[in-house]
Amino acid sequence: MDPHYAEWLNLAIRWAHMVTGVAWIGASFYFVWLENHLDRRSPREGLAGDLWAIHGGGIYHLEKYALAPDNMPEKLHWFKWEAYTTWLSGMALLAVVYYFNAQLYLVAPGADLSSLAAIGISLGSLIVGWLVYTTLCESPLGKKPILLGALLFVLLIIAAWGFSQVFSGRGAYIHVGAIIGTIMVGNVFFVIMPAQRKMVASLEAGELPDPSLPAKGLLRSRHNNYFTLPILFIMISNHFPSTYGHAYNWAVLAALAAISVLVRHYFNTRHISQKFAWTIPAAALGMVCLAFVAAPQKNQGNAATTESIKIEFSEVAVIIDQRCSSCHASEPSSPLFKTAPAGVMFDTPAQIKSLAAKINAQAVATVVMPLGNMTHMTEDERKILGQWIIEGANID
């Protein structure tokens, strides 16, 4: 496909994914807030609680029934299409970005893996991830939510490590997110919605609903609630190469996910008490510590030592021209791009110098560029770039 139209297709699908994702997660957050703020002190007969709210210049009175009203309303609003369209648009985006350009974006540089094999691993992991998850939920562990949650966390981190062995850092992260997203929509489609339909059907038939169905739906809904912040990070993670490009990117993801879960737990419980208020400063401290721990080490890894001979800009210019300028130029020669990705161009020495920090972050410290190492930048070339930057990125 022509790169120009491929970019617009990417934009259209990504925008749809973002809009529907906001609608789904926004509705989820609102109903959690609603449930947590119900006044349950002295509800009138048949109610579990109610609340008063003001928004947009109007005052609202919302009531929650302990089970259901005596007569079911003619119109009952269901919340499902936000979840379905978010997953469908996400799968379309996965195909456009990672499947159509598997060797560039999905397969780890140097990995002996064909595009078809990588796509097979991708699709298979989504199916296996859902089957393992739902089996665990239906097992006796389903009655031990803390233990189940801990096990699910460990299994997702194992999946992140496994993906990092065969996929690029970006590909590994996005596939952990794809597994989580598949679990979330599977919960809605296979558990929450069927339970709600059966409950409504029983009420309309004048029968007592099966109490196990709402309990199963509640467990899956609670999981979806705690999944939201980690998956939101994964959705934006491709902008932060210091995370997915780290040598231990799976561990960085684990730490960020743990921080996200802590923050979500506070907001889930703060209406009851402030005993989990410590999670907010702990999360902030965790982010600061993680930034230092994940920082690239000078004079280690890909960067050369300061004892090396002084690097001339002419040597750097040759590397940039051979390995980077096919994409990052005012008129890219690569058939994959019509314009320079992210507007980054290396046409002049001044442009190269001004982007030295970005070159260091993405081509030296984290080795995420060139994409898929399609121009075959060598380790020695990365060391030369790193040393040039250490010496002050001189272009004279």
Phi/psi of residue 347, each to 5°?
-80, -30
Inter-helix orientation angle 212-236/193-204, to 10°: 150
Token couple for 52: 């008063």
HSE of 291, CA atoms in CB hemisphere, 13 A: 7
Predicted local distance difference test score (pLDDT) of residue 111: 85
Residue ranges for the chain with pLDDT beneath 50: 299-306
Which residue intervals of the chain are DSSP H helices? 3-36, 81-94, 115-138, 145-166, 169-186, 193-204, 212-236, 241-244, 249-269, 279-293, 313-323, 349-354, 356-359, 379-390
- The predicted model scores a pTM of 0.86
Task: Locate the domains of the chain by residue range.
Answer: 79-293, 313-390
Q: What is the DSSP string of 351-373?
A: HHHHTHHHHIIIIIIS---SGGG
Alpha-carbon dihedral sign for residues 159, 164, 167, 168: positive
Cα-Cα-Cα-Cα dihedral of 206, 211, 214, 216, to 10°?
Answer: -140
Instruction: Give the Cα separation of 129 and 131 in Å (integer).
Output: 6
Q: What is the pLDDT of residue 303?
A: 44
Beta carbons within 8 Å of 143's beta carbon, 6+ residues apart: none
Q: Cα 323 vs. chain centroid, distance in angstroms?
A: 29
pLDDT at 259: 96
Q: Provide the pLDDT for residue 262.
A: 94
**What's the confidence (pLDDT) of residue 306?**
46
Q: Dihedral of the CA atoms 273, 261, 246, 182 (nearest 10)?
A: -160
Our CA angle for 83, 131, 256, nearest 5°, is: 65
Q: Give tens-digit pLDDT for 152-206.
A: 999 999 999 999 999 999 999 999 999 999 999 999 999 999 988 988 888 888 8
Amino acid identity of residue 46, one-letter, is G
